A and B are shown apart, each in its own frame.
Chain A
Amino acid sequence: MSAIDVEGVLSAVKRVRGGVAVSHNKNTAEMKTVRIPSPEKVVLPMQQHIGAPCTPTVKVGDKVSVGQLIGDSDKYVSAPIHASISGKVIAVKEIKLPTGAVSQAVTIESDGEMRLFEGVVPPKVETKEELFKAARESGLVGLGGAGFPTHVKINVPPEKPIDTLIVNAAECEPYITVDYRECIENSANILDGVYKLKSLLDIKNVIIAVEDNKPAAFTALKRIADSEKDYDDSVKLMVLKSRYPQGAEKMMVLATTGRKVPPGKLPADVGCIVMNVGSVGYIGRYLRTGRPLISRTLTVDGSAIMNPKNVRVPVGTSIGEIINFCGGLMEKAEKIILGGPMMGIAIIGTDQPICKQNNAILAFNKRDTEVKPETDCIRCGYCSLACPLSLMPTLIERYTKARDIDKLSEIGVDVCMECGSCAYSCPSGRPLVQYMRLAKSVLREAGANK
């Protein structure tokens, strides 16, 4: 369906190596985002980002309003947490997150008013420094799924000159249509975000990258690249062949610029900042409204969801409530995944809250969760062929089982981003991603014991 062939649009500089052709299953692509009625209560974990957890700044009994700060940290790599509904704090206690990590969380009981906090005003942003400050205060983290604090990402030290901002609209995970809807429904925000970031961070080029299976998103993004604000034609739209994991940061940098991010380094080391299109759109909106990051869009889909939808929910709404809003689960629900089917986390129950960086709830029935029987490796090499980072998963598995530290550190398992392409293609049904994780922790332990 590669329907995109328009003049003046860049095509990928370098084809990504490996990867897999997963079925897209973007069933909710044409469904307009709907808002969930405001929940009775929300649970807001203090750890919704990569970095230091926040400390609650409210206590039980406090009255809070929408957008009010309820958790912050004095550490640099962290992102503050804001109340997503108005009401009363009824609990501050530890909860278990879907990842298995334990975090402090603030529970707010709604007063039904959704009263906006009076401190929510558009920030005054005219310089780089003001932008960093505003980005931090907004609580923004990478909305693509990793949850890296945006103010850290865009504040690149001067010794690393940045020449390209890459706006990532690839959305290569199956099912998820959050970024796609963002492009179509909120392209004005993205437009604002792109040109504000470009001028404030003083970045020469902007590349907006979208996969070729999303013509409607392409059309919306084309308007941004063709905007009159782009007086020197430095904002370009690039069409990438749809291939998982095209949206992964390193793959994105390679496809759009031909540059390779070395192991253990960031895109900033090769002159790039990669931002999810949703995050860019959010920046545009925040600079206009000053509303911190308190809600997020999710794709709710999968064979065990009654009425699949794209929904906008306050952060902290329980997963079960969102599923109920989508008609509930079918009886045969076997697995619920937070995130996409390639990298998402299977959860144990639906009590947990939705965090800022979550982008999908997928529920599947038994038929769709059946796994291949795990048999011995036949050395077919499909895993190495699929690995976009040139690793050899089957050897990593072997060395991990043998606890061969020297060979493991040589083979570069740290580069692995756990995209799942190897395990997806393995005909023997081997849990290769688990071995990658095990390999990393074996290496960490060995390092700690030295």
Chain B
Amino acid sequence: MSVENKLTVSASPHVLSRRTSQRIMLDVIIALIPALIASTIIFGWRVLAVTVTAVASCVLAEYLSRRAMKRKNTIGDLSAIVTGILLAFNLPVSIPLWMVVIGSVVAIVVVKQMFGGIGQNFVNPALIGRIVLLVSFSTAMTKWTSPLSWLGADAQTTATPLAILEPNCENLPSLTDMFLGIRGGSLGEVCALALIIGGIYLMARRVIMPIIPFTYIGTFAVIILIAGKGDFEYLAYHILSGGLLLGAIFMATDYTTSPINIKGKIIFGIGCGLLTALIRLFASAPEGVSFSIIIMNILVPHIERLTTPKPFGTQKVKNESTPSEVGKEAAKV
């Protein structure tokens, strides 16, 4: 029969789910779009300039560095675009564009590609990009443009709510403004509404599990509530200010730098919440989301070692036969 020799032979399974890495990254990009639109309304067209610069330099950096390292081109997986958008979201709108390029190159080349590319970096590339910029250009990185001031004649600067946030303090934007993002801050972090919409989309598409965002924000909330002696308004301001929502929904849930197991994700989320609350309450820096997530990123291998699930059926009979014994037994046969 002529069909012989032409058949494909491969290992099972012979059917695969439709989900691809590329589609997952596309979902993340889609989930980030509401926040991008909101930010453009709040801070003006320059938001788009910063975002496009970051995305373009991330993609180009990935392409060129892979080429230089003689590795397969991977820009098609869209992950560089996600990193670019997330980096831009962590920057003030007034930042000079050449700094954006530096941040992007650091994120992609140093943090991601030098460790082996997608899935191999041990810390979040966008966050390291932001921190490198923060310590290198602290003035430019902490110049906060007033919301909606682009509609007027000239741009004004403002303080971020977090910098002036104290229990029962004045001069804060209203909670509604905080929720809608009418406040100073990094360009992607301000609009809580848009970030939550994006988060719901990711959860509905089953790209992320709700575990990390909820344990992160939950732990954070408990500590702030205790510190604020039960002041719920203070808590609401804390949750809506800074990069907490952006961090909890989009950065802490990064696959590569968070634990795979459910137990691990819980520990990771609690750790992030704890560190963020402690930094905000006791450290000299007003914001702690980036540092908390990065510290927890570094701990991921250890968390994972602690939380590796026991294979099916080994839980109750630990004394009878440990998996390694079984392995040896099987090896003998």
Contact = CB atoms under 8 A, between A and B. Distances in A.
Contacts of A263: 311-314, 321, 323, 326
B308 interface: yes
A209 interface: no
A52 interface: no
B20 A429 contact: yes
B315 to A, nearest CB: 7
A364 interface: yes
A413 B321 CA distance: 14
B311 A335 contact: no
A169 interface: no
A389 B331 contact: no
B7 to A, nearest CB: 6
Given A379-B119, A380-B24, A342 B14 contact: yes
B15 A335 contact: no
Contact of A262 (B23, B321, B324): B321
Nearest to B260: A381
B311 A377 contact: no
Nearest to B308: A392
B15 A174 contact: yes
A350 B1 contact: yes
Contacts of B119: 376-379
A111 interface: no
A420 B13 CA distance: 5
B327 A349 contact: no
B312 to A, nearest CB: 4
Nearest to B304: A395
A90 interface: no
B20 A342 contact: no
B4 interface: yes
**Main DSSP-derived SS at the B contact region:** loop
* A261, A329, A376, A431: residue with the most chain B Cβ atoms closer than 10 Å: A376
B7 A349 contact: yes
B118 interface: yes
A215 interface: no
Contacts of B13: 341-343, 420, 423-424, 433
Contacts of A336: 7
Interface in A66-117: none
Nearest to B324: A409
B331 A444 contact: yes
B9 A347 contact: yes
A169 to B, nearest CB: 22
A219 to B, nearest CB: 29
A273 interface: no
A250 B14 contact: no
B146 interface: no
Nearest to A343: B12
Contact of B7 (A335, A378, A433): A335
B311 A378 contact: no
Chain B interface size, as a band, is: 35 or more
B331 A411 contact: no
A414 B327 CA distance: 6
A32 B311 CA distance: 41
A370 to B, nearest CB: 9
Nearest to B265: A381
A372 B14 CA distance: 11
* A260, A382, A409: residue with the most chain B Cβ atoms closer than 10 Å: A409
B314 A378 contact: no
B40 interface: no
A280 to B, nearest CB: 25
A412 interface: yes
Contacts of A420: 12-13
Interface string B11-30: 11111110111011000000
Given A342-B12, A390-B312, A392-B309, A427 B21 contact: yes
B68 interface: no
Interface in B279-333: 308-317, 320-321, 323-324, 326-332
B255 interface: yes
Contact of B15 (A341, A391, A426, A431): A341
* A389, A414, A437: residue with the most chain B Cβ atoms closer than 10 Å: A414
B3 interface: yes
Contacts of A428: 20-21
Given A348-B4, A378-B256, A392-B261, A431 B314 contact: no
A260 B313 contact: yes
B210 interface: no
Contacts of A390: 309-312
Contact of B14 (A260, A369, A394): A369
A265 B313 contact: yes
A273 B309 CA distance: 27
B74 interface: yes
The 6 A-B pairs of least Cβ separation, nearest first, read A447-B331, A412-B311, A420-B13, A409-B327, A389-B312, A381-B260
Given A392-B308, A427-B20, A427-B23, 7 more contacts: A262-B313, A263-B323, A346-B10, A350-B3, A392-B309, A410-B323, A447-B332
Interface of A: 17, 20, 22-23, 174, 250, 260-265, 320, 329, 333-337, 341-351, 362, 364, 369, 371-373, 375-382, 384, 388-392, 394-395, 408-415, 418, 420, 423-429, 431, 433-434, 437, 440, 443-444, 446-448, 450
Interface of B: 1, 3-17, 19-21, 23-24, 74, 77, 79, 117-120, 255-256, 260-261, 308-317, 320-321, 323-324, 326-332
21 contacts: A260-B313, A342-B13, A343-B12, A349-B5, A364-B14, A369-B8, A372-B16, A376-B119, A380-B255, A382-B19, A384-B261, A409-B328, A410-B324, A411-B311, A412-B314, A413-B327, A415-B314, A415-B326, A423-B16, A433-B12, A447-B330
